[in-house]
Amino acid sequence: MGATKWSVSAVGWLQAGRIFNSTDSSNQKINNLNKNWLQNMGGQFTALIDISPNWEAGGGIGALQSHLPLGAISNAQNYNPNWGGYISEARISWSYPNKENPQYKINLGAFPFNYSPQTRNLGLYLTRGLVYPGIVISGFETIHVLPIANINGLQIINSGKNFEHTLIINSETEYAPYFDLSAIYLAKLTPISGFTLGAGINFFRFYAQNEDLTSLREYKGNCETKSNYGIISNENDPEVCYSLENPRTLLPNENGDTVYYDTTTGSLSGTKLMGRTELDFKKLLNFSYSGSESDFVLYSEIALLGVSNISKKYYNKRSERIPIMVGANLPTFGILDVLAFEFEYYPNPHSADLGKATLAFSWVPRREHYNAKRDDYKWSLYASKVIAKNIKASAQVANDHLRLGGTGGAYYTGSEVFIEPKNWYWMTKLAFFF
């Protein structure tokens, strides 16, 4: 062990920001997030172990101090910082013929993965979020765009001159029910320098650790009563493990009309499709440029969250399950490393709250308490700059899919902070790394 070569990388950071406008106060003063400050700090160490020309391993640990948002002024006394830890990675990798130029690479364990390195905020639909309901995830520098493990399982990569195939078996550890397995395949093609095409498919939760939780195909009772979300209270919602569809009135009886429904069962599992492009105009037009390597890149991503229409009531139109985003790295002529503007359109007609899915394992969307048509457009402006090789400053203003814990001890509901075009926030971050 003593002769093993290894190196350590580390990062420490301070992060602060403010929600400037948030419409969704959930009709509770306690959840009024307007003008709320956000702040966290953290650090992590990661060791990279060079075992042989083919083998390497990585492992690291990090910690984060954060806090719940304050909510209303009347609730500010409940403001508490929280302390949490995480594993930045714990993996073993094998490469062939060698680590430097691998034709094949296998990762096993917990490790970071980002198939669209240009993405700063919006997108990554294939590996982030759910299928039914079609929840998408974003925010300021989420773990999916940082060197922090977001895949737990197996990854096989085959790289060629102009192409790359990736197969992933991922154990779900982000959203309950845990440990369901997803199978993901991604292909990347670079036909000409500066132009990249990508596509992928995700058989999300194709293997369930408990089929009754992931795909309750048969109604077995105990799921139609109110407040059945367990932790989300005061929700009188009979549709948890099935949806009530195709209402019809039969002959009236002596007490009045009787309405009958079809009870449609569904599943949290489903298939995602994804396509993306990346255009680097510096290479396509072959012009010399002394600014950042990221500048003049245009990228986009489109996805279908759930191939099958599994419910006439909620999932009957594929067009409502297609998020699309376009991003552009604007030229800054060396002033910044990245200045990226991203725009997203996702015409999901249902609530973007994931609490019902993760706490009650329900594939039925949570009942929206707002006009879900008003949150179809999202945008983000992100900037970053590395100073003195080891210090990175970054910032973002956005209206994205930010989700925060409940304020002042209120339970986490999984609701989005921004539900109208006028909503927005800003964040800044100062990081030291080596």
Which residues are at the interface with another protein (CB under 8 A)? 1-2, 4, 6, 8, 45, 47, 49, 51-52, 55, 57-61, 63, 84-92, 108-110, 149, 152, 171, 173, 176-179, 209-210, 212-213, 222, 230-231, 359-361
Give the residue with the Cβ less far from another protein, 59 or 327: 59
Instruction: State the minimum distance, in angstroms, from the CB of residue 85 to another protein.
Output: 4
Task: Tell me how far apart the alpha carbons of residues 301 and 119 are, in angstroms, rounded to a whole number.
Answer: 9
- Least separation in angstroms between residue 56's CB and another protein is 9
Q: What is the largest CA-CA distance in the chain?
A: 87
Query: Given the complex with another protein, which of 149 and 322 has the nearer CB atom?
Result: 149
Three-class secondary structure assignment of the chain: CCCCEEEEEEEEEEEEEEEEECCCCCCCHHHCCCCCEEEEEEEEEEEEEECCCCEEEEEEEEEEEEECCCCCHHHHHHCCEEEEEEEEEEEEEEEECCCCCCCEEEEEEEECCCCCCCCCCCCCCCCCCCCCCCCCCCCCCCHHHCCCCCEEEEEEEEECCCEEEEEEEEECCCCCCCCCEEEEEEEEEEEECCEEEEEEEEEEEEECCCHHHHCCCCCCCCCCCCCCCCCCCCCCCCCCCEEEEEEEECCCECCECCEEEEEEECCCCEEEEEEEEEEEHHHHCCCCCCCCCCCCEEEEEEEEECCCCCECCCECCHHHHCCEEEEEECCCCCCCCEEEEEEEECCCCCCCCCHHHHHCCCCCCCCCCCCHHHHCEEEEEEEEEEECCCEEEEEEEEECCCECCCHHHCCCCCCECCCCCCCEEEEEEEEEEC
Contact between 152 and 174 (Cβ < 8 Å):
no
Nearest to 137 by CA among 97, 174, 192, 109: 174
Q: What's the closest the beta carbon of residue 145 comes to another protein, in angstroms? A: 20
Q: In this complex, which beta carbon is closest to another protein, that of residue 92 or of residue 187?
A: 92
Question: If you count them, how many residues does the chain have?
Answer: 434
Nearest approach in angstroms of CB 196 to another protein is: 31
Residue type, 205: R
Count other C-beta atoms under 10 Å from residue 160's C-beta.
10
Least Å from the CB of residue 285 to another protein: 45
When the beta carbons of 73 and 231 are compared against another protein, the nearer one is: 231
Whichever of 119 and 214 has its CB closer to another protein, that residue is 214
Least spacing, CB of residue 40 vs another protein, in Å? 15
With respect to another protein, which residue has the nearer C-beta, 47 or 410? Answer: 47
User: What's the min distance (Å) between Cβ of 47 and another protein?
Assistant: 5
Nearer to another protein, 174 or 245 (CB): 174
Q: Which is nearer to another protein, 178 or 345 (CB)?
A: 178
Taking the complex as a whole, the smallest distance from the CB of residue 433 to another protein amounts, in Å, to 17
- Specify the residue, 175 or 370, whose C-beta has the smaller distance to another protein: 175
Of residues 63 and 335, the one with the C-beta less far from another protein: 63
Smallest gap from residue 59 Cβ to another protein (A): 2
By the 10 Å C-beta count (0-12 exposed, 13-18 middle, 19+ buried), 236 is classed as exposed
Q: Which is nearer to another protein, 42 or 198 (CB)?
A: 42
Nearest-approach distance from CB 58 to another protein, in angstroms: 7
CB of 156 to another protein, least distance (A): 15
